[in-house]
């Protein structure tokens, strides 16, 4: 397997296929690089070099006890980008991966990044705070912590329903997609998943968004039950210097999988623009 060892000894697993302009895919919680299969194949066939890593503690990367915060996630990506000598790269992040993307681009991306994409992303901040009173109450994230820490197998099964909008009337449920989400989640370390909840909910990306100069596409489903677009995408797009926003009526949080054809087409148009 392809892995790099970062400064604290953690091994980061990655897939690196094809040649051409690199597109780096950053997965959501609690998944792995496998969540990008539909995008990896599409863009590989379009002549791009496609790369997807497993965040520390997730998938096939080391089940590290520590470092489950956005600064460390971004630093891990920086080491990967250096090791693979990535230049003129497009970084695409889903959900938690969107936060990872904007922190990486802001802190480490100078001279290496051409564009960025935030899909169903947690930016600028999800949790309710004094400065973000309309955010999601901490009690919700405490429920996610409780389910993850002590009932992970069943909690992860149940989580797939709102994640993909399968709890909506008339939804066409794919058991394979649900099983694949659960498979990816259970590959990772429970402590990494637990700690990551704080990272994706409480990290404030406001200054990262403001500081990024490269073009950024913000894509979000209007029926996202996990990361509501009014709290995130609408705000993030306004903070960007060179941002573009696309929202999708009826699309769920997991729209890169359930609505891959639409998402891939819009991604391609942005990349080529």
DSSP β-bridge partners for residue 51:
16, 24
- The Cα–Cα gap between 70 and 108 comes to 13
Number of domains in the chain: 1
Question: pLDDT tens, 88-134?
Answer: 999 999 999 999 999 999 999 999 999 999 999 999 999 999 999 99
Let me know: does 159 contact 186? Beta carbons within 8 Å: no
Q: What is the 3-state secondary structure (H, E, C) of 136-184?
A: ECHHHHHHHHHHHHHHHHHHHHHHHHHHCCCCCCCCCCCHHHHHHHHHH
**Does the pTM of the predicted model rise above 0.85?**
yes
Return the CATH number at 16. 3.40.50.1820
pLDDT range class, residue 256, cuts 50, 70, 90: very high
Question: pLDDT tens, 159-208?
Answer: 999 999 999 999 999 999 999 999 999 999 999 999 999 999 999 999 99
Catalytic pick among 68, 91, 94, 253: 253
> Beta strand pairing status for 49-53 and 22-26?
parallel
Specify the pLDDT at position 23. 99
Question: pLDDT tens, 199-208?
Answer: 999 999 999 9
| Catalytic status, residue 66 | no
Helix (H, G, I), strand (E, B) or coil at 271: helix
CB contact set of 117 (below 8 Å; sequence gap of 6+) = 90, 91, 92, 93, 101, 216, 217, 218, 219, 267, 270
Specify the pLDDT at position 68. 98
Helices then strands (H, E): number in the chain? 10, 8
- State the alpha helices, DSSP H only, in the chain: 37-45, 70-83, 96-108, 138-163, 175-187, 190-202, 206-211, 233-239, 255-258, 260-272
Specify the pLDDT at position 1. 74
Q: Is the pLDDT of residue 213 over 90?
A: yes
Backbone dihedral angles phi then psi of residue 239, each to the nearest 5 degrees: -85, -20
Catalytic pick among 32, 61, 62, 95: 95
Structural domain including 113 reads 3-272
| Catalytic status, residue 32 | no
- Reference 105, options 252, 210, 201; nearest CA is 210
- Reference 4, options 76, 65, 71; nearest CA is 76
Specify the pLDDT at position 192. 98
User: How large is the average pLDDT for residues 82-87?
Assistant: 98
Catalytic pick among 54, 195, 224, 266: 224
| Catalytic status, residue 224 | yes
User: How large is the average pLDDT for residues 250-268?
Assistant: 98
């Amino acid at each position: 397997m392809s892995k790099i060892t970062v400064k604290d000894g953690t091994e980061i697993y990655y897939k690196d296929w094809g040649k051409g302009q690199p597109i780096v895919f950053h997965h959501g919680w609690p998944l792995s690089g496998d969540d990008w299969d539909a995008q990896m194949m599409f863009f590989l066939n379009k002549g791009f070099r496609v790369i997807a890593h497993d965040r520390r503690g997730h998938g096939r990367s080391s089940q590290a006890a520590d470092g489950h915060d956005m600064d460390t996630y971004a630093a891990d990506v920086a080491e990967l980008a250096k090791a693979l000598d990535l230049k003129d790269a497009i970084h695409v992040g889903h959900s938690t991966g969107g936060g990872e993307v904007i922190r990486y681009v802001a802190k480490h991306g100078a001279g290496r990044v051409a564009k960025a994409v935030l899909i169903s992303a947690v930016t600028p901040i999800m949790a309710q705070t004094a400065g973000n009173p309309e955010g999601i109450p901490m009690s919700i994230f405490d429920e996610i912590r409780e389910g993850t820490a002590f009932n992970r197998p069943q909690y992860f099964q149940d989580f797939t329903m709102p994640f993909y909008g399968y709890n909506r009337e008339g939804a066409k449920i794919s058991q394979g997609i649900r099983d694949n989400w659960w498979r990816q989640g259970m590959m990772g370390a429970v402590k990494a998943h637990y700690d990551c909840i704080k990272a994706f909910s409480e990290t404030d990306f406001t200054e990262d968004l403001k500081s990024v100069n490269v073009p950024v596409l913000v894509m979000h489903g209007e029926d996202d039950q996990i990361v509501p677009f009014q709290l995130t995408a609408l705000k993030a797009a306004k903070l960007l210097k060179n941002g573009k926003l696309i929202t999708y009526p009826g699309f769920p949080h997991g729209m890169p999988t359930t609505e891959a054809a639409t998402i891939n087409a819009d991604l391609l148009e942005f990349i080529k623009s």
